[in-house]
């Protein structure tokens, strides 16, 4: 982790981990990929290593991120998908040229067409988002119960009753708030 930058929220679902690079959208928003280098760092953590990123590529990434967020939010609330968001997700997916390769250990890896092709990495993320929004994967899109967050997350719990995008942050904060409220009532 680089000093001075907000750290990353790690999740098991690529597309919603990506939308989680902007948090507290309804409060004091925290931008976790404020510079091209931080996008490079994020991609490396998520198995999509590139060796450089331009300011324009960072812009593309953020545009994709907000489109995934908008489409996933609509899907989670059974609303119509915003057409502009769908267009951007599709453009990124079509323009990516990453290939899935199988490692000797039986794991999938992404091979980008060149080390500077951020677009390839974005294509992988867009395709992941399409899979989730299309309901192809086992799980359900939901919105975080925290009023300052409202992030779309992918609930893979057995009961599909997960309430927070992240237990360690939004979940904990909510629990603490409730605890404090109860303490106040008790005194
Ligand atoms: Zn949240």
Write out pLDDT tens, residues 153-179: 999 999 999 999 988 889 887 777 777
Residue 71 lies inside a defined structural domain of this protein: yes
Instruction: Specify if 96 maps to a domain.
Output: yes
Cα dihedral sign for 53, 59, 64, 65? positive
Q: Which residues surround ligand 1, an ion (CB under 5 A)?
A: 144, 146, 149, 151, 165, 170
Say how many Å lie between the CA of residue 13 and the centre of ligand 1.
Answer: 15
Q: Is residue 174 domain-resident?
A: no
Residue 149 Cα to ligand 1 middle (Å): 5
Range of the domain at 104: 14-137
pTM metric for this prediction? 0.91
**pLDDT score recorded for residue 180:** 79
Question: Residue 145 falls within a domain, yes or no?
Answer: no
118-133 and 83-95 helices, crossing angle to 10°: 130
* pLDDT tens-digit readout, 109-153: 999 998 889 999 999 999 999 999 999 999 999 999 999 999 999
Q: Quick check: is 148 in a domain?
A: no
Neighbouring CB atoms inside 10 A of 91's CB total 18
- Whether 147 maps to a domain, the answer reads no
Which pLDDT belongs to residue 94?
A: 97
Identify whether 30 is part of a domain.
Answer: yes
State the Cα–Cα distance between residues 152 and 155, nearest whole angstrom: 9
How much distance in Å is there from the Cα of 106 to the middle of ligand 1?
Answer: 33
CA R_g for the chain: 17
> What pairing do the DSSP bridges indicate for beta strands 30-31 and 22-23?
antiparallel
Query: How far, in Å, is the centroid of ligand 1 from the Cα of 26?
Result: 10
Question: Number of structural domains, the chain?
Answer: 1
Q: Is residue 23 part of a domain?
A: yes
pLDDT of residue 110: 95
Tokens representing 16 are 């919603």
Q: Which residue has the higher pLDDT, 91 or 180?
A: 91
């Amino acid at each position: 982790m680089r000093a001075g930058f907000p750290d990353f929220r790690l999740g098991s679902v690529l597309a919603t981990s990506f939308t989680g690079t902007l948090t507290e959208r309804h409060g004091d928003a925290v931008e976790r990929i404020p510079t091209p280098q931080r996008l490079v760092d994020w991609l490396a953590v998520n198995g999509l290593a590139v060796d450089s990123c331009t300011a324009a590529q960072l812009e593309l990434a953020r545009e994709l991120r907000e489109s995934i967020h908008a489409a996933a939010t609509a899907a989670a609330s059974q609303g119509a998908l915003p057409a502009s968001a769908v267009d951007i997700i599709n453009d990124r997916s079509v323009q990516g040229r990453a290939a899935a390769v199988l490692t000797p250990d039986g794991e999938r890896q992404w091979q980008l067409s060149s080390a500077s092709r951020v677009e390839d990495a974005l294509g992988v993320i867009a395709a992941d988002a399409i899979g989730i929004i299309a309901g192809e994967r086992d799980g359900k899109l939901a919105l975080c119960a925290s009023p300052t967050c409202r992030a779309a997350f992918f609930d893979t719990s057995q009961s599909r009753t997960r309430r927070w995008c992240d237990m360690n942050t939004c979940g904990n904060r909510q629990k603490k708030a409730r605890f404090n409220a109860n303490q106040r009532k008790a005194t």
